[in-house]
Chain A
Amino acid sequence: MSEDVLAPLSGKIVSLSVEPGAVIEEDDEILVIEAMKMETPIFAPCSGTVSKIVVKEGDAVEEDDLLAVID
């Protein structure tokens, strides 16, 4: 079963903390979105393996955009 990680808000990807293939635990930081001068870290909703990261540093994202997939 896989879990989609969606952007909770619109903003810019300022850093990525994991790579595809990384084994992560629930609550690990996946990436950080900057918006309105604040940085919102995005945490893993579950433990698993990062099968996909669909964004890169500098990308602009909208609310609900897909960011990553965890298997």
Chain B
Amino acid sequence: MKSYFENMAPFGKALKKGTIKRTQSNYEQVLDAEKKILAAVDEVKNAGLPEEKINQRGQMTVWQRLEYIVDPGTWTPLHTLFNPGDNVEGTTNVIDGLGKIAGRWAVVIGFDNKVMAGAWLAGQSENILRVTDLAERLNIPLVWLVNCSGAKLTEQEKFYANRRGSGTPFFRHAELEQEGIPVLAAIYGTNPAGGGYQSISPTVLFAHEKCNMAVGGAGIVSGMAPQGGFTVDMAEALVQKAKEHRAKPPGSVATHYDHTGFFRFVYKEEKEVLDGVRDYMKKLPAYDPEFFRVTAPKAPAFEAEDIMRLLPIASKTVYDFDDILARLVDGSEHMEFRPDYGPEIYTGLCKVDGLLVACIGNRQGYLGKGYPEYADYPGMGAKLYRQGLLKMNEFVTLCGRDRVPVIWFQDTSGIDVGDIAEKAELLGLGQSLIYSIQQSGLPMMLAILRKGTAAAHYVMGGPQANRNNAFTLGTCATEICVMHGETAAVATYARRLVKEKEAGRDLEPVVEKMNALAQKYKDTSTPLYCAKHGMVDEVVGLADLRHYMKSFAGAAYQNPKSICPQHQMILPRIIRDHAAAKEKE
């Protein structure tokens, strides 16, 4: 199949002098917006105690542990800004991402031991469940850096119980293990109660000699059975007991290595624990990437930084999607599927790090005379019409057959609406695409370049595809909402305006409400808001998109659950034969 994969067509255009000149303002706006995202990330990194304080105790911080264990250049952070409970600590208190350890991809997650010694906080379990989902989606090991003091007792109602509460990850670990996905845990510090289950539920436990894990902690002063309330006299007695209380935390190495044997390995130094995990990763199964590569890896022909000029930060301005994609894929080469059909959508086979991926994205701009063919109105990119929906359905289905992971790029204003669009079956075709995605069983990732709107956000590989979408990225230009805020304001208040007008009342109060709603939409669709509430899993720099694509592709091909032999793939042949027939016409 060399002739297919080594001779892909080049695409994309170099930046002209004029382009560089006129996009300078956009470039600077993107830089500025990305700086604000980085500032928010820095706040999370600096949450809790200073690094020096943790180091003075002879401990590494979670950030230092991550830096040590993850192979240089492979760390791919996710959920950094996720904080749906708006915790005062500024974090859900777990740090996670994809990374290679000893050359093998893993999902890596650790408790932030700078913040309340790694306690359970609101939003944390949802964060952890997304991480376990990621390991399941990509079929790669999950590596934990455990250092968990248990529940933040003053807020337990926010996370302790409930269907997706802090106990659910323990069932999820069991689920991963039943699917043959190992969970390795490096264990540090004191891990009572919830921390105990965080430590015991993984598959293999690597313990630091000073750590412990237990059903209950030593922090509960004994002899204080509930009395129905507290008095000052009781408080005095408590002061005395607390001063005398010297119990050691239960579940130390002496118990769980020497006696129960729960700890498989024990190490003297913190770094040795991580070395132990690293050595163990080498024992785990993983295909050499050469098994799946279709060509040698190749950098794109154009600079990734160009994307900061090519993607207008102003959401109404059209641009050339192909030029952006050409900066993200190997050699800036592709095999486009059905280029003469469904012009609002790009579908094609590309390579990332020599691995075959399917790319799907919204094209922008006027779509030409006579399109969409079912309507008497013109078609504009970013919207989805019948042909585009049909093309995506067909492409995703064939990707499923050929076992090609999919990378989606969204910048969409939604699916065409109105009775003409209904007669063109767009409602059914949108759900059909959902069905096609679900039945493909493929791992997918999504980058929302700018707009993610209405049902189009769902059907184009959105995070709602729980069984397929591994992670969703936002950029500094991302806006996610059901519709434009002004459209929503009109929909909400139009009838009220009519009533007020007919009653002879001042329209100004309603106008104020309309403006307030439009502003609310603006405030709740920004990249930072989307990341905080989990609508995207990370906001990344435009120049960093390819890094995430490489991590996704590498991880997806490490241990796929099914294989299609390259010489039995159908998509490359369909694409080439279609192009040849077109040339003959």
Contacts and interface: CB of A to CB of B under 8 A. Distances in A.
Interface in B299-332: 314, 316-318
Contacts of A8: 366
A27 B369 contact: no
A9 B366 contact: yes
Given A8-B366, A38-B365, A28 B378 contact: no
A39 B317 contact: yes
B318 to A, nearest CB: 5
Q: Is the interface of A mostly helix, strand, loop or mixed?
A: loop
B246 interface: no
A49 interface: no
Interface in A16-64: 24-29, 34-41, 43-44, 47, 63
A41 B318 contact: yes
Interface in B378-397: 378, 380-383
Given A9-B366, A27-B22, A38 B17 contact: no
A65 to B, nearest CB: 13
A28 B378 CA distance: 27
A36 B17 contact: no
Contacts of B318: 38-41
A38 B316 contact: yes
Interface string B1-33: 000000000000000111101100000000000
Interface string B200-230: 0000000000000000000000000000000
Contacts of A63: 369
A9 B378 contact: yes
Question: Interface residues of A toward B: which range?
Answer: 20 to 34
A67 B91 CA distance: 54
Contact of B22 (A28, A38, A47): A28
Contact of B18 (A34, A37, A44): A44
B317 A27 contact: no
Given A28-B18, A28-B21, A36 B316 contact: no
A26 B380 contact: no
Interface residues of B, number: 21
Contacts of B380: 35-38
A37 B18 CA distance: 26
Contacts of A24: 18
B410 interface: no
B359 to A, nearest CB: 22
Contact of A38 (B18, B19, B364, B369): B364
B525 interface: no
Given A10-B378, A36-B378, A38-B318, A27 B16 contact: yes
A3 to B, nearest CB: 14
B243 to A, nearest CB: 70
B17 A41 contact: no
Contacts of B369: 63
Contacts of A44: 18
Contacts of A39: 314, 316-318
Interface in B17-52: 17-19, 21-22
B319 to A, nearest CB: 9
Contact of B382 (A9, A38, A41, A47): A38
A25 B18 contact: yes
A36 B22 CA distance: 24
B83 interface: no
Given A8-B366, A27-B22, A37 B17 contact: no
Contact of A35 (B17, B317, B366, B382): B366
A47 B21 CA distance: 14
A24 to B, nearest CB: 8
A7 B188 CA distance: 66
A57 to B, nearest CB: 16
Nearest to A63: B369
B436 interface: no
B191 interface: no
A41 B320 CA distance: 12
B139 interface: no
Nearest to B314: A39
B127 interface: no
A26 to B, nearest CB: 5
B317 A41 contact: yes
Contacts of B21: 25, 28
B366 A26 contact: no
22 contacts: A9-B365, A9-B378, A24-B18, A26-B16, A26-B17, A26-B18, A27-B22, A28-B18, A28-B21, A35-B378, A36-B378, A36-B383, A37-B316, A37-B484, A38-B317, A38-B318, A38-B364, A38-B365, A40-B366, A41-B317, A43-B18, A44-B18
Given A37-B316, A37-B413, 4 more contacts: A26-B18, A36-B380, A37-B380, A38-B317
Interface of B: 16-19, 21-22, 314, 316-318, 364-366, 369, 378, 380-383, 413, 484
- The 9 A-B residue pairs with the shortest CB-CB distance, nearest first, are A27-B18, A9-B366, A36-B380, A25-B18, A27-B16, A39-B316, A28-B18, A27-B19, A40-B318
